[in-house]
Amino acid sequence: MKPLEGIKVIDLSQFAATPAVGRVLGEWGAEVIKVETFAGDGNRKNGAMCKVPNLGDDENPAFDVTSLFKKFTCINLKSPEGMEILDRLLSTADVLIVNFREESMKRLGVDWETIHAKYPRIVHVRSTGFGDLGPMKDVGGFDITAYWSRGGILASLGQAGGEPINSVPAFGDLQQALGLAAATLAALIGREKTGEGDRIVGNLYNTALFMLSWGIQGVEGGNVYPISRQNPATPTSNTYPTKDGKWIHLCGPTYNLFYNRIMKLIGREDLLDDPRYNDWMTIQREDRCKDVCAIIEEGMLKHTAEEWEKIFQEDDFPCQKLFDFNDILNDEQAWACGALRSVKYPSGNEHVLISLPMRLDSVGYPDYEGHTAKRLGHDTRPVLKQYGYTDEEIDEMVRKKVIID
């Protein structure tokens, strides 16, 4: 039995950060009913941004990242009949997921205050760009603006003096989704103690700041970002090029412990215990980090990345060749640990989907086939019948453009 079986989720959200919460909860056993407008979730078309194949309603891998394990209904919430349907859905719900602005939520009656008064056991989950307080609380939230840009990632993580790094769509959104899913589970546990639901508000800006905690805190101590890899804080934890044009990231964070080891590995035994370089405080005080980096880089250029990985592994010195996305798709470990899954779609085509980064034994590796996204309104009729509507009533609502089935 999956741990969230018996939990019912109503998902009114669009795009990535908040809908992905429903994907997580659904994968772990919750019944997730997605309610879309007649225009559909904008994320149905977002795959084109990163050239993910979109071959129709039943073959849309980018949409599946946020929409696996859901039932798809389409309801016109601007109509009285549509709002009546929503009320029926909410009457049995445990969780409501939204990402509307405050004004829109109040207009629809799905803001926290209204929902909590009417359905006090519902956990209300909302994703925003900048939170529900402060001067930017009503500004629209987008991964690129709130997370990547204002969150400091684009300006701080590139090389000093260089251009900004490139962004990847939904990178911050999906981090936020995992946090919101964890908060939802905490709220459900809390409800068992109090009998009442809770309000959860996540924001992309805060998510970025949390992920960059040590970097931001380091500024108080005098660290300056962006940093040059030729003059980092710790030369034994830095990126270096190899003979074959690849790159390796060494991970020796405790400099004094790793200094002699790296010098021996790169063939610079003449520098073992050298007082000019073997102490972190000394190289910081005397501005010699860049000199140590130059010594290590010269040594790293003697071998290929593959050769270095074997050398470092034999010494138990943590390191990793920098993978690009093609490397990942061909990585035996990614397939062996279940991170990459090849999923067959109704057309017979197979596409790669990425698993959640945590696995519950009670869930195992879920079978994604049969749980991929469906066309707009695919499940409207069976869901409405589940809530007591007759086929005749459903037909009439289709005719009046209250629903799409």
Task: Give me 139's structure tokens.
Answer: 């500004």
Residue 148, SS3? Answer: helix
Give the 3-state secondary structure of the chain. CCCCCCCEEEECCCCCCCHHHHHHHHHCCCEEEEEECCCCCHHHCHHHHHCCCCCCCCCCHHHHHHHCCCEEEEECCCCHHHHHHHHHHHHCCCEEEECCCHHHHHHHCCCHHHHHHHCCCCEEEEEECCCCCCCCCCCCCCHHHHHHHCCCHHHHCCCCCCCCCCCCCCHHHHHHHHHHHHHHHHHHHHHHHHCCCCEEEEEHHHHHHHHCHHHHHHHHCCCCCCCCCCCCCCCCCCEEECCCCCEEEECCCCHHHHHHHHHHHCCCHHHCCCCCCCCHHHHHHCCCHHHHHHHHHHHHCCCCHHHHHHHHHHCCCCEEECCCHHHHHCCHHHHHCCCEEEEECCCCCEEEEECCCCCCCCCCCCCCCCCCCCCCCCCHHHHHHHCCCCHHHHHHHHHCCCEEC
> CA–CA separation, 306 vs 77, rounded Å?
57
> CA–CA separation, 302 vs 237, rounded Å?
19
The CA R_g of the chain, rounded to the nearest whole Å, is: 26
Residues marked as catalytic = 173
Amino acid in the structure at residue 121: R
Cis omega (within 30 of 0) for bond into 275: no
> What are the distances in angstroms from CA 226 to CA 159, 254, 351, 394, 405?
6, 21, 37, 58, 52
